Structure 1
Amino acid sequence: MRRRAIIGVSIFLLGIGAVMMANLDRPSREPEIYSRTGMDERRVQVQNLQHKSPHIQKVDTIQANEVLKKRLNNDPSIQMIHHNAQDKSHYYANEVVVDFSTIPSRTSLDKIAKDIDGVLKEKHNSSYIFKSYSKTTTELIQYFKQNHRITFAEPHYIYLQNEVNDTYYQNYQWNLPAIRTEVGWNVTRGSKKIKIAVVDTGVDLNHPDLSRRLTRGYNALSPKEPPQDDNGHGTHVAGIIASVPNNGVGVAGITWYNPIIPVKVLNSEGTGGSFDVAKGIHWAADHGADVINLSLGNYQPSAVMEEAIRYAMKKDVVVVSAAGNDNSSQPSFPAAYPGVLGVAAVDWEGQRAPFSNYGDYIDIAAPGVHIASTFFQGQYASLSGTSMAAPHVSALAGLIRSIDPNLRNTEVMNIMTRTTQQTERSRPAVYYGSGVIDNTSALEAAYRRKYPLGRTSEWFNQFFGR
């Protein structure tokens, strides 16, 4: 009797072991989604990957962007820094951003205002914006460096959205199969616990394809107002990450469940100051963001922005930024800051987009040409730019953390850069970084790291036929 019992237990344990071995590489059990394996195949379960009745706004922003740049170049209240013959950065004339090592008293602030013939415009933590009616920005910086205990004093830089033109809409979302999104959904479709902040022009809070995915946000320009998008850029970025899949409406986002934190730091023209962008990053990091997407940039390093990036990194946030769209090797910030994942753009053939910036600060690449997504005022639009490439990476970071929320930000970034598409790895790193993202490979790697022997529930469910 005892011998039979021993034999029975042995068989049971061997059975368990066999199931365990069979599940070593088994992904989590999401309902299966079929993916196209070639251009001829269209067997995609997600109904709205191919939009059969598109109401897509054909947006051409070349002229608008050129008009904006000319206005900034000729505006007497705006100053320029010429990095080279092509690339320029802008900042607000007669203003300075100052970070104090010791918070000044009201008496000290009054004296400063008198000394500079100006006013205190705004403050956030230990950083302040001062404006003078008579002193130049250079004179203001010199004054603060000579007369006060400060961490830094610098111009109030202007950031622009990293979006370029598009007058063409393809009738399906080529970008999703290009990064193996659908097969990756068999591993995970996301988690409501992992939040992704879009620090941008805000988001259309009432968009039918986004509103259910939005959580509490912040308007750094007008803190008492909601982060409503009055430009379209932020809504487009958010839709790439989170527009509702499989609902027969509009377009499909890369994540199914991850909430979007809308943070408005850019105005209706798509521009914003370094101070407000930094405020938005701080707010997102303090309010539960696991990933922050920054589809914006400037060619001039900024101490207030770098401090905000370091703050988010210390909070274990994955920070993703667009590389810029001037076909330039001039480093763009925040993409070039240490710890930020700088993203270049590729087209539907996996080739570098002709506008995409390049350099040794590029970490990874993603689709950024003719990307269909949500747009403000309840619309849809097709846009191109590294602004569109970055949210593909942010979405993947959110999915990876959905599998394992305990992964450090650096571990999430390492998984993405180690699992890029094989065909891209031999291409120049200055254009592609480690290569084009591969959602399936990255998510499977994260799953194996989290569950090296598979999920216990799956073993027992399969063994007992449940």
Structure 2
Amino acid sequence: MLFSGAPVASADQVRDGQWVNSYFNLDKVWAVSKGDGVIVAVIDSGVDASHPDLAGSVLPGYDPGGQGLNTNPTDDHGTSIAGIIAAHGHGSGDGVVGLAPSAKILPIYKGKADGTSALPEDIKWAVDHGAKVINLSLGSDAKAGSRSALTEAVAYAAKNDVLIVGAAGNESLKTVDSPGNEPGVLAVSAVDKSGAIWPRANSGPEVKIAAPGVDIVIACAGGKYCIGDGTSEATAYVSGAAALLRAKYPELTAGQVASRLVKTVQVPASLQGAKVPDSRYGYGILALYEALTKDIPAGPPQGPLGGAFGATSEPSSTSSAAAGGAGASPAGTLPPLHSVSGGSSASSGVGTGALVAVVGGAVVLVVVIVIVVAASRRRAASVPPPGHPPYGAAPRWPPAPQQYSGQGQPMPPQPYGNQAAPPQYPPQQNPYN
């Protein structure tokens, strides 16, 4: 609902509008970690490093097109994502704060000079320049593994112990957008204040965790503030949480950080006793303080990520275990093999007929494996149809966030306070919006 008579928001209204701060009890969280020393790469539309809530927290970054768009943003999106992760406010409690106010943002522009995606190059650049977490609040409809350069870039991040957090997408689809669907990426869905899934959030087996993503007060380019919804915002909250964990537990691998996030989730009532990960919530909703403080084993290096990190072997496959319970078998692993004879002694006879059956079964199994591997190679070698743009079709993301009135309502585009109206940018011709 738009209204033209909105009062100018005061500083405390902006901060008070950040309902997530009390939801996560940030004062308590910050007594444990503020993300000191952690670099989070934001591959997006660029970040306004001069925003008062981000000043001093934004590194130079990179624009593969050489136009300086990494710190000269083409829209508000990248600045808002950076703010959710690492904004520190200004003055005496003015402006917005992110989850990890002592972390640094590495802004990387998402496209090349010709408007095509630079995502694989951007990921590798982030890894090579000190990022420990990479936020990808963007997406396309490309299938997982359909772009070898992207798959290789995710593997490169895994090899170098960098956690990639990706958005599930905002189209109410039952498929997760790329790159969130790539094995090795921690895919995120969005929930509202009540913990209900945002209706437009995509779902699918790749979703590992959900986080707040509705009515989010955010920093926008030009020193302004906006309000936005989406899995983009939820992804930024998970990236901020990962930054806090990487500062608190520097000895943990990227996979173990992801494991800590999903093992300490708040499990909605609808998932109690159900098999997880759920296609909408993943293992559950981000529980920040619990992730930082709960006493849980580090687990295997790959955690729940799989893909380039190795076989997925945790967390457990029930919601109670996902919340920290013990005794369940790890998800994605095979049960232990039993004796062929079924007896207690290896020497207690196996009849000739049984032996023939076992050998025959083994031959059939080998043949099936050969057929499956051959089919997989044929699929992997397939070439996308001509004209298919890099990393999927045209973008399917919502328009830029609306200006924020300070009272939890969107307002028509207009100057915020006494600031000048934001500049209007032409649409960018690239696969991400």
Give the CA deviation at 1:190. Answer: 1.9
Instruction: Summarize the Cα distance change of 1:176–1:447 in structure 2 as closer, same or farther, 3 Å threshold.
Output: farther
Give the CA deviation at 1:287. Answer: 0.2
Instruction: Summarize the Cα distance change of 1:340–1:448 in structure 2 as closer, same or farther, 3 Å threshold.
Output: closer
Which digits, 9 at most, give the CA deviation of each residue in 1:1-47, with x for residues without a partner? xxxxxxxxxxxxxxxxxxxxxxxxxxxxxxxxxxxxxxxxxxxxxxx
Instruction: Summarize the Cα distance change of 1:383–1:266 in structure 2 as closer, same or farther, 3 Å threshold.
Output: farther
What SS does the aligned partner of 1:372 have? strand
Q: Distance in 2 between matches of 1:402 and 1:53?
A: 33
Residue 242 of structure 1 is matched in structure 2 by 86
Work out whether 1:282 is the aligned partner of 2:131.
no
Residue 56 of structure 2 is matched in structure 1 by 212
Residue 273 of structure 1 is matched in structure 2 by 116
Instruction: Summarize the Cα distance change of 1:360–1:215 in structure 2 as closer, same or farther, 3 Å threshold.
Output: same
What pairs with 1:2-81 in structure 2 (closer than 5 Å)?
Answer: 53=10
Q: 2:41 aligns with which of 197, 206, 218?
A: 197
Instruction: Summarize the Cα distance change of 1:346–1:267 in structure 2 as closer, same or farther, 3 Å threshold.
Output: farther
Q: Give unpaired runs (5+ residues) of structure 1.
A: 1-50, 57-168, 450-466
Give the CA deviation at 1:208. Answer: 1.1
Work out whether 1:294 is the aligned partner of 2:136.
yes
TM-score, normalised by the number of residues in structure 2: 0.61
Letter in 1 for 2:121: K
Residue 371 of structure 1 is matched in structure 2 by 216
CA contact (8 A) 1:55 1:380 kept: no
Letter in 2 for 1:435: G
What SS does the aligned partner of 2:108 have? strand
CA contact (8 A) 1:265 1:272 kept: no
Give the CA deviation at 1:289. Answer: 0.2
Give the CA deviation at 1:294. Answer: 0.2
Higher gyration radius (CA)? 1
What SS does the aligned partner of 2:165 have? strand
Q: 1:395 aligns with which of 240, 243, 258?
A: 240
CA contact (8 A) 1:366 1:436 kept: yes
- Write 1 or 2 for the structure with the bigger share of strand: 1
CA contact (8 A) 1:230 1:267 kept: no
Q: 1:441 aligns with which of 290, 293, 303?
A: 290
Give the CA deviation at 1:277. Answer: 1.5
Give the CA deviation at 1:448. Answer: 8.9
How many residue pairs match? The answer is: 284
Residue 306 of structure 1 is matched in structure 2 by 151
Work out whether 1:320 is the aligned partner of 2:195.
no
Q: Which sits farther off after the overlay, 325-334 or 432-441?
A: 325-334
Q: Distance in 2 between matches of 1:319 and 1:362?
A: 13
Q: Distance in 1 between matches of 2:206 and 2:296?
A: 28
What SS does the aligned partner of 1:430 have? coil
Give the CA deviation at 1:272. Answer: 5.5
Which digits, 9 at most, give the CA deviation of each residue in 1:182-210, with x for residues without a partner? 3222211221x211110100100211110
Residue 431 of structure 1 is matched in structure 2 by 280
Give the CA deviation at 1:365. Answer: 0.3
Residue 264 of structure 2 is matched in structure 1 by 419
Give the CA deviation at 1:215. Answer: 1.5
Work out whether 1:222 is the aligned partner of 2:71.
no
Instruction: Summarize the Cα distance change of 1:337–1:250 in structure 2 as closer, same or farther, 3 Å threshold.
Output: same
Q: Distance in 1 between matches of 2:290 and 2:70?
A: 38
Instruction: Summarize the Cα distance change of 1:273–1:180 in structure 2 as closer, same or farther, 3 Å threshold.
Output: farther
Residue 73 of structure 1 is matched in structure 2 by none
Letter in 1 for 2:291: A
Instruction: Summarize the Cα distance change of 1:337–1:279 in structure 2 as closer, same or farther, 3 Å threshold.
Output: same
Work out whether 1:185 is the aligned partner of 2:27.
no
What SS does the aligned partner of 1:188 have? coil
- Write 1 or 2 for the structure with the bigger share of helix: 1
RMSD, aligned CA = 2.7
Q: Give unpaired runs (5+ residues) of structure 2.
A: 1-7, 299-433
Instruction: Summarize the Cα distance change of 1:177–1:447 in structure 2 as closer, same or farther, 3 Å threshold.
Output: farther
Give the CA deviation at 1:298. Answer: 0.8
Letter in 2 for 1:379: K
Letter in 1 for 2:124: H
Work out whether 1:349 is the aligned partner of 2:194.
yes
What SS does the aligned partner of 1:250 have? strand
Q: Distance in 2 between matches of 1:252 and 1:224?
A: 26
Instruction: Summarize the Cα distance change of 1:227–1:279 in structure 2 as closer, same or farther, 3 Å threshold.
Output: farther
Which digits, 9 at most, give the CA deviation of each residue in 1:44-68, with x for residues without a partner? xxxxxxx971599xxxxxxxxxxxx
CA contact (8 A) 2:189 2:207 kept: yes
Letter in 2 for 1:298: S
Q: Distance in 2 between matches of 1:195 and 1:393?
A: 14
Instruction: Summarize the Cα distance change of 1:214–1:234 in structure 2 as closer, same or farther, 3 Å threshold.
Output: same
What pairs with 1:87-126 in structure 2 (closer than 5 Å)?
Answer: none
Residue 158 of structure 1 is matched in structure 2 by none
Give the CA deviation at 1:246. Answer: 7.0
Q: Which sits farther off after the overlay, 222-231 or 348-357?
A: 222-231
Residue 408 of structure 2 is matched in structure 1 by none
TM-score, normalised by the number of residues in structure 1: 0.57
What SS does the aligned partner of 1:431 have? coil
Which digits, 9 at most, give the CA deviation of each residue in 1:207-250, with x for residues without a partner? 11102111130012326665321211000000001111474221
